[in-house]
Amino acid sequence: MLSPPYSLPPEFFKLKTKNGDIITFFVLTPLYQEEMDFKLKNGADSLEEKLGKHSVDFVVDTSRSNVVKKKSWFK
């Protein structure tokens, strides 16, 4: 998912060049299938809220937990 870096202040991801152009930085967050399904059903804002609550950062963590998958008592 492509989104602004929600764990940083908004002014961090915009850069004004010398000629006045604005460069906007985005974060590419790899998603689990369940997270993509949740996003399509509930919207990106709802998924970003869950990612923020689980402290998913803009640094890719290949071992991060799925933020929408229900936990089983048997695992």
* pTM value > 0.75: no
pLDDT in tens, 9-53: 777 788 999 999 999 888 888 999 999 999 999 999 999 889 888
Task: Output 42-47 pairs: Cβ under 8 A, ≥24 positions apart.
Answer: 44/1, 44/3, 47/1
Q: How far is CA 4 from CA 1, 25, 71, in A?
A: 10, 7, 28
Task: Name the residue ranges covered by the structural domains of the chain.
Answer: 2-53
pLDDT (0 to 100) of residue 7: 65
For residue 17, give both structure tokens: 């060049």
